[in-house]
A and B are shown apart, each in its own frame.
Chain A
Amino acid sequence: MPAYNDLFRLDGRTAVVTGASSGLGIVFAHALAAAGASVVVSARRLDRLEQLAAEIEREGGQAFAVACDVASEEDVDTLAAKAVDRFGKVDVLVANAGVSDPRPAEQEPLDVWQRILAVNLTGVFLCNRRFGALMLEQGSGSIVNVASVLGVVGAGQIPQASYTASKGGVVNMTRELAAQWARRGVRVNAIGPAWFESEMTEEMFASDQALRWIRRKTPMGRPGRGDELAGPVVFLASDASSYVTGQTLLVDGGWTVI
């Protein structure tokens, strides 16, 4: 067959990944590089990013590390400027940076709520706005926001009103930005992971009880492996999903079907 399977590839594209210093962000950075993209990895912790960038380069990819707190408008502007300076353009944004701080809502202090919303919702907006503007200028681009199953269902046993609110916000903001930008060449989608091992879920994965709960409640009978989010992200980033926009792809082993 013709080399049309290249549709699933990202050769010649530049991708920016936020929250790339740990867990899923590292997986996304490797996956985008493996698909052929030059990758700008960003997070607050520069030392870890430089290690990741070096690793990607060792594997034959191209990577560049930029420190950025996505909740800071100035940092996001700097990230965009440095990305363009280094690679000339940005074709793909994976807005992955996120934090959580589970606790019962009746005991959730305002400053915790505000911090979670600042990173998970405002941070995603700031990155979408800045990189969306770049993409609109060039007339093409694909944004993948990392939402969560907790953007469409409640968390229940791991109470976190702020996190669920922020991810629900990302799901519908994704629809809205898709609607605003679709006819100018920019697609905006999200993924909604269920339970994956990451820095955020470290405690959970250390608990047998929590793991049993995940296995019992997930139709596939197991939590996700980090690399299982790579496919959906690359699919949405690539031209293989050219008619997909405004969607949140649930990658949840069936968590939300039952």
Chain B
Amino acid sequence: MASRNPFRLDGLTVAVIGAGSGIGEGAAEACARQGARVACFDVNLSAARATADRIAAAGGEADAAELDILDPEAMGSALASLDHLRGVVATPGVNVRKRLLDYQPDEFDRVVTLNLRGAMCVLQVAGRLFTEAGGGSIVLLSSIRSQVTEPGQGVYAATKAGIVQLARTAAAEFGRKGVRVNALAPGVVDTPLTKPIQQNEAWNSAYAGKTALGRWGRSDEIGNAAAFLVSDASSYMTGAVLFVDGGWTAIDGRFDPPA
């Protein structure tokens, strides 16, 4: 068929912050598969380089650089140096699982700083760049925890809900400049960060069982959604929260009655 494939990202650059592992790695690979040149950023340079190398080895185009999501100056010059920058996907986040009564101030600060100030930093830096350029797509990582929680997830859940409202406000503020901002909300995903949970058989199967699909997600499945949100295929989507959660938030999964 003649029509251009709106999912493709050929000739465009996508910056993935947090590309060194997990969902960031999945997003980088997915964007590369759609033809984008991917700038892999991570606080861990060798991890970013490993992702870029894997992409290059598979025939894609990628390079790597060190970047701390909490350093707006460094982010500003890193992003400004990229040609044909179309999208920024930011994935870094941290969770301290601890009940509210046990949470220490420094733990609270650590989670809120990386998750929420990191997202804010991306919105300010990429938002300024894209609004001046007259277009671009920003994808922030929220979570099912923006909507549902469990004991021990209070602070993390608060930051992920906060990211949703930051993204929605950014969508409202940047919309007329052609800049789209959306949030991706994964459910339970097989990543290095969640390995300890998966190694706990009861926990692993309880989480799988709480999804409608009955399984954990893979980072490439989140990555494909990120590539979709960066691409023209989602050109009228902004301020949206795309849950890629195997149906976690579609059901009340507290009890699985006998069929």
Q: Which of A115-123, A156-164, A233-241 contacts B (4 or more CB under 8 A)?
A: A233-241
B250 proximal to A (CB < 8 A): yes
Residues of A with C-beta under 8 A to B173? 219
- Asked whether B233 lies within 8 Å of A246 as measured between CB atoms, the reply is no
- Asked whether A246 lies within 8 Å of B6 as measured between CB atoms, the reply is no
Q: Which of A41-49, A64-72, A95-103, A221-229 contacts B (4 or more CB under 8 A)?
A: A221-229
Q: Which of A13-21, A138-146, A205-213, A249-257 contacts B (4 or more CB under 8 A)?
A: A249-257
For chain A, the count of residues having a C-beta within 8 Å of the partner chain is 50
A110 proximal to B (CB < 8 A): no
Q: Within the assembled complex, what's the spacing in Å between the Cα atoms of A249 and B3? A: 24
- Asked whether B59 lies within 8 Å of A2 as measured between CB atoms, the reply is yes
Q: Which of B93-101, B197-205, B238-246 contacts A (4 or more CB under 8 A)?
A: B238-246
Q: Which of B79-87, B103-111, B120-128, B213-221 contacts A (4 or more CB under 8 A)?
A: B213-221
CB-CB contacts below 8 Å: B206-230 with A: 211-214, 217-218, 221-222, 224-225, 227-228
- Asked whether A220 lies within 8 Å of B247 as measured between CB atoms, the reply is no
A166 proximal to B (CB < 8 A): no
Q: Which of A75-83, A84-92, A128-136, A176-184 contacts B (4 or more CB under 8 A)?
A: A176-184
A247 proximal to B (CB < 8 A): yes
- Asked whether A60 lies within 8 Å of B1 as measured between CB atoms, the reply is yes
- Asked whether B239 lies within 8 Å of A256 as measured between CB atoms, the reply is yes
1/0 per position for B1-33, CB-CB distance to A under 8 A? 111011110000000000000000000000011
State which size class the interface on B falls in: 35 or more
Residue from the list A7, A229, A234 in contact with B236, Cβ < 8 A: A229
Evaluate whether A182 and B212 lie within 8 angstroms (CB atoms) in the complex, with A234-B233, A246-B249 already known. Answer: yes
CB closest chain-A residue, reference B222: A243
Q: Within the assembled complex, what's the spacing in Å between the Cα atoms of A235 and B109? A: 38
Residues of A with C-beta under 8 A to B58? 1-2
Q: Within the assembled complex, what's the spacing in Å between the Cα atoms of A247 and B243? A: 7
Query: Please, could you name 17 A-B residue pairs with CB atoms under 8 Å apart, sorted by A?
Result: A2-B58, A2-B59, A4-B33, A5-B33, A225-B236, A230-B6, A231-B235, A241-B224, A243-B221, A244-B242, A246-B212, A251-B234, A252-B239, A254-B171, A254-B172, A254-B238, A257-B169
Top 6 A-B pairs, shortest CB-CB distance = A246-B250, A231-B233, A219-B175, A257-B239, A182-B212, A228-B236
Q: A219-B175, A230-B233, A245-B213 are in contact. List 17 more A-B contacts (CB 8 A).
A: A1-B32, A1-B59, A5-B8, A5-B34, A59-B1, A60-B1, A61-B1, A219-B176, A224-B236, A228-B235, A241-B244, A243-B187, A243-B222, A244-B243, A244-B244, A251-B237, A257-B239
